[in-house]
Structure 1
Amino acid sequence: GGVGVARLDPSDGRVLWSRTAAADADPGAGAGADSGTDDASAVGVVSVSGGLVHTAVPGGKLRAYDPARGEQVWDADLSAYAGTPFAAGDSLLLVAEDGTTEALDAATGVSLWRHPLTGHQRPDYALYDGSTGLAYAFEHSAYGSTTLITAVDAKTGRATWQRRLDGMLTPVGSAAGALVLTAMNGDAQTVGLVRYDPGRRHVERMALPFRMNEPEVVVGGDTAYLLAHGGTLVAVDTRPGGGKAVRWQLETAAGRTSAPVLATGNRLYFSAADGRLLAVDTEHGTLLGQTGPRLRGGKLTYSSALPAPVAAERTVFGTAPDGSVFAVDGKDPADW
């Protein structure tokens, strides 16, 4: 409780260093300081960029730590910005209250560029493509009938391309040079996917088998995986002219979940609200295994966000509502 960011030894889970959530409100607080609360939600975002670990509180402080020793390297005031920084490679993108975008060097905190994006009032950033160095800004029109999409070079701030597309869309991934977006209806339900190829200026739309409320989405290769509330996982073919869009559909009965994570060996992992870690075969759409629940006092607890698992080689790391972090061998999830 009260820990804002910590480094763990992946081999045995030992805490190598930690900083309290209070450190982001009180610059004088350090490792092991008593935050006076068990609420660790004061830290809104933890990310790794530019070789440093960053924590950010909306309207508060952005702090950068040396990952080896946990020492603070630099900080910045976020009071003039909306939300928290968006990590884009070695840059951190911030949107000011007036809609201006600023990019900070993640290693030094130095401003790389600052200017408004043409056509945008107050954009959001939803996706960064490390293979191209492009960050994708989007903004819905007043009534959600169209969405303005801008591909921005995160290092220079130059707009590579811009296009207004029909519908209320959100970038979620890239595939073979094309941008994949979710499409919502007027009730904010996700009803389909859109594939936009900027080279050919070609738009292709794929309907979903049913409406989804705020699904978690990950794109790998030519497939998008959508994990709906209630645990339904749908794999959608995003190739142009891919024929039948839905490749497979799996009912996991997981309820509220984390974002799914893709890993080698045709694996997809995600966490459930009761602390279970689930593994799915992405080729066949089958559940490979799951851990037991990890509850606090045997009761289902609520957390504002469920962190996604981390897959590193054969080991999969998960978190649970009881405050624990655990690691399992991903070789055979049936043995979990």
Structure 2
Amino acid sequence: MAPRRNTGAGAEAELPEYAGHYRLESRLGSGGMGVVHLARSTSGMKLAVKVVHAEFARDPEFRGRFRQEVAAARKVSGAFTASVVDADPDAGQPWMATLFIPGPTLSDEVKRNGPMDPAQLRRLMAGLAEALRDIHRVGVVHRDLKPSNVLLAEDGPKVIDFGISRPKDSELRTETGKLIGTPPFMAPEQFRRPREVGPAADVFALGSVMVHAATGRGPFDSDSPYVVAYQVVHDEPDLTGVPESLAPLVRRCLAKEPEDRPTPDELMRELRSVAASYDTQAFIPAQRSSDGPAPQSPAERPEPSVKRRVGKKVIVGAGALGLAVVAALTSVRLLGDDQASPSGTTPRTKAAAFSSWKAKPAPETSGMPQCSYGAGELLCVQAGTVFALSPADGELLWRRPVATTSASGPPVVSSALVQPYTEGGPQLAALDPHSGNEVWKRRPAPGTMVRYTARTALLTAADGKITGVDSASGRTRWSHRIPGQRTPSFVSFPGDPLAYATSTSADGSSTQLSAVDPQSGDVRWQAHLAGTLEPVGSEGGSVFFLSIGSVYGETKAVVRYTPATRSTRRVTLPLASQEAHATVRGNVVYLLATGGSLQAVDMDARKQLWRVETSVSRGSAPVADDRYVYFTAADGRLLAVAARTGALAGQTPARLGPDSAKVMGAPPTPVLDDGHVYAGAPDGTVFGVAARNPAGW
């Protein structure tokens, strides 16, 4: 096959067909040292392959520098950079392949759409601070952080191009009299003493990048690089246009002396305090609209009756209830219509007049409590403790230790008993919901996955065999394999008597779906569906899925399967969502992605209804009623947006605790029941608010 050509003169008009065994499909961009191509691996994985210009390949010094770049990129491969897949610095034209990250550079984004708003700026600064922390942690200094080296991916900014980075243990040193970097984003010490450049230089560059993102220009601006160099060393930065809430932090980054600049860890701590004061407010005016629902005061809209009957259906966010393999679960049926309380006990009823409350039931423990509702109680697990609270006022009713400190989800109520199963724990235990006393316990085999339904616990062994356990007694009901399922994972949904077993083909091209009767183990129906699908809900006789991309795990479409007609409907999302969590309300699917994008997809109309960017960089799975969509943020806020428009309707204050610096997965899903919403926060509190009045939170 003849080599592919591109417009241009000279040797670079002839583009190579392969780098190693990776076929180069198209050119993504070029720089002073090489060309970056889009390529695919043999398995179809998208890659970005950097191929060095032929003229530099003949320079031994450059080859040494390129080896250093490869080594540095390998060391920092992680959540905030493009992971290195393969490289050959000794090839005729040296090359390096990294995972392809879809998204524009910060430079291109600002050119196309202008300066970022305050919420976007805070998220950008926090993401870059996290990236620098990880880069510096492995002993690498980037030395060329600039807008064109920042990719804006769906899950946050990624730092790329370590071409002039310098590991601390590198034998290469900058030559006397030679400046390496991009003047508008270089620190003073890079001009004054380039051999002594350290991590603080990257922090200075971060400050310059933030000014560019906020204003479209740099803090030191001139057409002449010599003038810029003088300004960087001697003049004060121009921060006109940088939001007041961020300007002091940016100014500290641009301090002339390295020791006066904050570290990435200090930046992240400062940004957490900034987040609650302005970042969330930036979300409000952009999303409010005249046709959104007006806030209702208690006098205008009285609280619904709080009397409840045993056996009432309740919708509770599940997150990863008892089964960590499905991250996008939305809700769990905690009480079946035909369930009764154990020992003839009567569930407590909520007080008729509900007032917002907060409680800290386990003050000696830390972390976000994970809660659910069942048998008239609010049931939570936190750091090795399970406890019950009164939904009316947060009063602690009982508390007891559980077998492990690593809970895989909130407690589940199955057969009217509390089942505080922890994935990988030594035993299953069923507790009386009103006293916490143990009713039965059972020790599953190591590696067993568990999913609770209304009356049955489904245990999936490592060899794929399924055991149905009566959740009222702990006795085995049935045990066998599910036809067509090698090692299935189960999900179940409120009001649906069936449990759904799914398994994906090795290449991700298809998903086997089996609808199982939990009480008998009988398979009611099966379907073979295209793509990697994660079930997120069932409504009106249909099952809803997220269609997951095979390379980055992004959600590309929402799928509805109706077994009665064997029909499938797929709605492709205008923009893919990273690590999305979802819930279903009627025929509308609400998705919240890492990075904060929230969208509503109408499966009947086959279109996206709306999409908004929230201030929540990492949120919980959402839950929804007829008016609002609710979700929690990692800082402990509970937010509500209008289900019809996406307009922010209200939010609670942030509740950060002493462990807030720790990186966490998705926050626990809020609990929605009978006109009230309950949630946990990082400071260890559990709180309850009226669902119908978010403006009053």
Fold match (TM-score > 0.5): yes
Q: 2:548 aligns with which of 181, 184, 195?
A: 184
Q: Hey, what does 2:618 align to over in structure 1? A: 256
Q: What are the residue-to-residue correspondences of 1:7-22 with 2, within 5 Å?
A: 7-21=388-402
Q: Hey, what does 1:73 align to over in structure 2? A: 439
* Equivalent position amino acid for 2:395 in 1: R
Q: Hey, what does 2:579 align to over in structure 1? A: 214
Aligned residues between the structures: 314
Distance 1:232 1:15, change over 3 A: same
- List alignment gaps of at least 5 residues for structure 1: 26-39
Cα distance in 2 between the residues matched to 1:70 and 1:129: 24
Q: 1:170 aligns with which of 534, 538, 552?
A: 534
1:186 is displaced (CA, Å) by 1.4
Q: Hey, what does 1:228 align to over in structure 2? A: 593
2:367 corresponds to 1:6: no
Q: What are the residue-to-residue correspondences of 1:55-134 with 2, within 5 Å?
A: 55-59=420-424, 60-83=426-449, 85-128=450-493, 130-131=495-496, 133-134=497-498
Answer with 289-298 or 140-149: which moved more: 289-298
1:129 is displaced (CA, Å) by 5.2
Q: What are the residue-to-residue correspondences of 1:131-150 with 2, within 5 Å?
A: 131=496, 133-150=497-514
2:679 corresponds to 1:318: yes
Q: Hey, what does 2:24 align to over in structure 1? A: none
- Structure 1 runs of 4+ aligned residues shifted over 6 Å read none
Q: 1:292 aligns with which of 653, 656, 666?
A: 653
- List alignment gaps of at least 5 residues for structure 2: 1-364, 366-382
Answer with 313-322 or 269-278: which moved more: 313-322
Cα distance in 1 between the residues matched to 2:583 and 2:499: 16
Cα distance in 1 between the residues matched to 2:446 and 2:693: 48
- After superposition, the C-alpha distances for 1:151-187 in whole angstroms (9 at most, x for unaligned) are 1111111111111111111111123212111111111
Q: Secondary structure at the match of 2:695?
A: helix
More helix by share: 2
- After superposition, the C-alpha distances for 1:105-156 in whole angstroms (9 at most, x for unaligned) are 111111111110001110011333533x111100001111111000111111
Cα distance in 1 between the residues matched to 2:416 and 2:660: 39
More strand by share: 1
* Equivalent position amino acid for 2:430 in 1: A
1:278/1:289 contact within 8 Å kept: yes
Cα distance in 2 between the residues matched to 1:298 and 1:119: 44
Distance 1:78 1:53, change over 3 A: same
1:253 is displaced (CA, Å) by 1.4
1:331 is displaced (CA, Å) by 3.2
Distance 1:15 1:3, change over 3 A: farther
Distance 1:194 1:257, change over 3 A: same
1:218/1:224 contact within 8 Å kept: yes
Greater relative CO, 1 or 2 (CA 8 Å, sep 6+)? 2
Distance 1:45 1:332, change over 3 A: closer
- Radius of gyration: which is bigger? 2
1:99 is displaced (CA, Å) by 0.3
Answer with 44-53 or 201-210: which moved more: 44-53
- After superposition, the C-alpha distances for 1:215-267 in whole angstroms (9 at most, x for unaligned) are 1110110100110112211100112xx24x1011122211111111123x412
* Equivalent position amino acid for 1:15 in 2: L
1:334 is displaced (CA, Å) by 1.4
- After superposition, the C-alpha distances for 1:183-236 in whole angstroms (9 at most, x for unaligned) are 111112110011111111112211012111221110110100110112211100
| TM-score, normalised relative to structure 1 | 0.88
Q: Could you tell me the percent identity over the aligned residues?
A: 39
Distance 1:267 1:134, change over 3 A: same
